Amino acid sequence: MQSTFSGIELAKRSINAHQIGLQTVGHNLSNASSEGYSRQRVELQAYPALDRPGLARAERPGQIGQGVEVARVSRVRDMILERRLVSQANGEEYWDQRQKYLRMVEQVYTEPGDLSVRNLMDRFWDSWQELSIHPDQMASRQAVLQRGSALMDGIQNQYQDLHRIQVMLEDEIKGGVESVNQLTRDIAALNEEIVKVEAVGDNPNDLYDRRDLLVERLGTKVAIQTDQRNPDEFSIYVGGRHIVQGSIAKQLETRPNPDNQGFSRVVWADTDEDFDPRGGSLAAHMELRDQDVRGEIQRLDNMTINFVDLVNEIHRDGSGLNERSGVDFFVERPAINNVLGNLDTNGDGAFDSSHIFRIKGANQLEPKDQIGIQGEITLSGPDGPVAVQYNPTDRVEDVVRRINRSGAEVVARLNRNNELELKGTPAADPDNPDFVIRDVQDSGEFLVGYAGILSASGLGGAYSHAQPDAVLDLQVGVENVAVAPQANPSGWIQVNPEIAREPATIAAGFTVDGRPAAPGDGSVASEIASLRNNPVMVGQTATFDDYFADSVAEIGLKGQEAEQAWHTERQIMKDLRDLRESISGVNIDEELADMIKFQHGYNAAARYMSTVNQMLDVLINRLGV
């Protein structure tokens, strides 16, 4: 049976419901500018009627309503859109970081400009050309010395600029790992708190918003996937592995990698396995440091070491005004301090490998001659051994060209005396040393009896760097090999101090049968100057000018690609964020309209309560019973 005082209870429920509505409107307005906040909405529903169907039900024409109640306070959020935003965020940040740092790399080249390495090298060639015209003048030698020193300074400055970018990226990676760890810990803590609130039947809307915001921020660092199939365990995956599982956060660590110049590896802290971010800013920084910038340094090193080797090869065969010969124009510090290239790579105090940059054959070859033999040369490559076939009808230059186009990390050339030279190139894998000839084998006789490099065919005569004194197994002596650099050549090459102290040592002409160059002979200077445009082997590049053109063009194209991709990703993210804002964002006009609606409802409920109170006053105090 309906109570006489039921009207008071009905009015109270209405007042409470509209008061909650007003509080929610105020909460929305207060957080209109809060990052990640979702508009909240009060869902009202009719309170259950007084009478239930049954035999004891009072006879009346229908159920009597009991007013209103708040069913729930929910946040307005499109979860499908949220997952799209999280999955897309890593792409925007990835390309943003790439275009930013590639622009910095582009600026290192300073092309065109008076201080660019290309311009300094042009001046260096010009000075040798001038010396070839005036081989007996000291002033021409001073110009060669000064421009050689300026060129080395320019190369070293370019290396230092690139290395500084690598160090900046290393700092970004360490900071990114710390940020990922902090975000995952915060998300795990929110997961634990959300489960507790949900356990008592509440909707922790503000905690949901906070977690979604942190998940989106995490998605800009690494590529993530979220999983809410278990309502009690919100999970985040990276590459199929949990990084957050409910209240558990998996942590990352950075470990120095001695095979990558001491730069950090990013690993899972619990397993020490390499971590693959798959996207986001962390992936961009790791890729830029270990591939793009490292690749630019390798290209600069490759150009430098081949440039120095070619200049020294010619200069050693000449003599200066003081009649000294056999002197290198450039030297490198530091270098492996034994002629066999033996090195202790694992630090146990014993030599365990041979680091050789160049091997020169003992025999003179004619580029156009057919070799008349058949076999297969096996060389070390980026992904394992690389096979190079040769046939009896091939010419010497055909085999050299085939080696250089094989993709092996060894290149070949015929030097000025038509002797075959093999040279190590930069290694694609950081675990392998740069400019080191790792493995050479020939099933036939081309590298054995024909070129005079290996001592025997097949596995028995194979050269392997993974042992000390490997040079002694070659057909040639130690005078025909050059030791590989220990550090980046572009950072440590300099003009020979002997030449800097005595410029008269600079050779202008070739020695003849051990005798000094004849007066007025500028053949050495002329041949060095001709290196400018002659096809010399610098990786896959024909000339030094080609190297500079290719380097600038390649980094420019990379930067352009990154910028275009970033603009595309940014526009996609802008559209998605705008769509989310239209759904979840706080609309001030709409909230003010709701505020007026709830205010009027509150006033009406209060007025109703006042009316019921007056009725009860008449019933109780004025009937005169």
Helix (H, G, I), strand (E, B) or coil at 79: helix
| Residue at 145: amino acid letter | L
More confident residue, 137 or 65: 137
pLDDT at residue 56, as a whole number = 60
Q: What's the pLDDT at 154? A: 93
Average pLDDT in the 573-579 region?
Answer: 94
For residue 537, pLDDT over 60 is answered with no
SS (H, E, C) 607-623: HHHHHHHHHHHHHHHCC
Per-residue pLDDT at 335 exceeds 70? no
Mean pLDDT, residues 4-11: 86
Whole-number pLDDT of residue 280: 95
- The predicted model gives 140-151 an average pLDDT of 95
pLDDT of residue 1: 53
Residue/partner pairs of 443-449 with CB below 8 Å, 24 or more apart: 443/375, 443/376, 443/377, 443/378, 444/373, 444/374, 444/375, 444/376, 444/390, 445/373, 445/375, 446/371, 446/373, 446/375, 446/377, 446/390, 446/399, 447/361, 447/377, 447/420, 448/475
Task: Report the candidate in 525, 505, 518, 455 with the shortest Cα–Cα distance to residue 331.
Answer: 505
Rg (C-alpha) for the chain, rounded Å, is: 39
Handedness of CA 217, 221, 227, 230 (dihedral sign): negative
Q: What is the pLDDT of residues 444-467, one digit of tens each?
A: 999 999 999 999 999 999 999 999
Distance separating alpha carbons of residues 189 and 211, to the nearest angstrom:
10
Residue 247 CB neighbour total at 10 angstroms: 16
- The size of the chain, in residues, is 625
| 17-35 pLDDT per residue, tens | 999 999 999 999 999 999 9
Mean pLDDT, residues 149-155 taken together? 94
pLDDT higher for 420 or 332? 420
Give the confidence band of 583 by pLDDT, cuts at 50, 70, 90.
Answer: very high
The string of DSSP codes covering 124-135 is HHHHHHHHHHST
- pLDDT at residue number 111: 67
35: which 2 tokens? 């990052």
The whole-angstrom separation of Cα 295 and Cα 373 is 37
Mean pLDDT of 503-517: 90
Residue 151 CA, chain-centre distance (Å), reads 30
Tokens linked to 365: 């070859």
Q: What is the DSSP letter of 289?
A: I
Question: Is residue 363 a contact partner of residue 349, using CB atoms and an 8 Å limit?
Answer: no
Q: Is the pLDDT of residue 251 over 60?
A: yes
The number of beta carbons lying within 10 Å of the beta carbon of residue 499 is: 25
Which 3 state secondary structure label does DSSP give 32?
coil
The per-residue pLDDT for 182 is: 97
Identity (one letter) of the amino acid at 236?
I
For residues 485 and 357, is the Cβ–Cβ distance under 8 A? yes
Give per-residue pLDDT as tens, 463-490.
Answer: 999 999 999 999 998 889 999 888 889 9
- Contact (Cβ atoms closer than 8 angstroms) between residue 393 and residue 369: no
Distance, C-alpha 561 to centroid of its chain: 15
The residue type found at 332 is: E
**Cβ-count burial 310-339 (b if 16+ within 10 Å, e if not):** bbbbbbebbbbbeebbebbbbbbeebbeee
- What mean pLDDT do residues 8-15 have? 92
pTM of the model: 0.87
What mean pLDDT, rounded, does the chain reach? 91
Whether the Cβ atoms of residue 507 and residue 320 lie closer than 8 Å to each other: yes
What are the structural domains, with CATH classification, of the chain?
5-51+63-76+585-623 (no CATH), 82-96+170-292 (no CATH), 337-484 (2.60.40)
Confidence of residue 229 (pLDDT cuts 50, 70, 90): confident
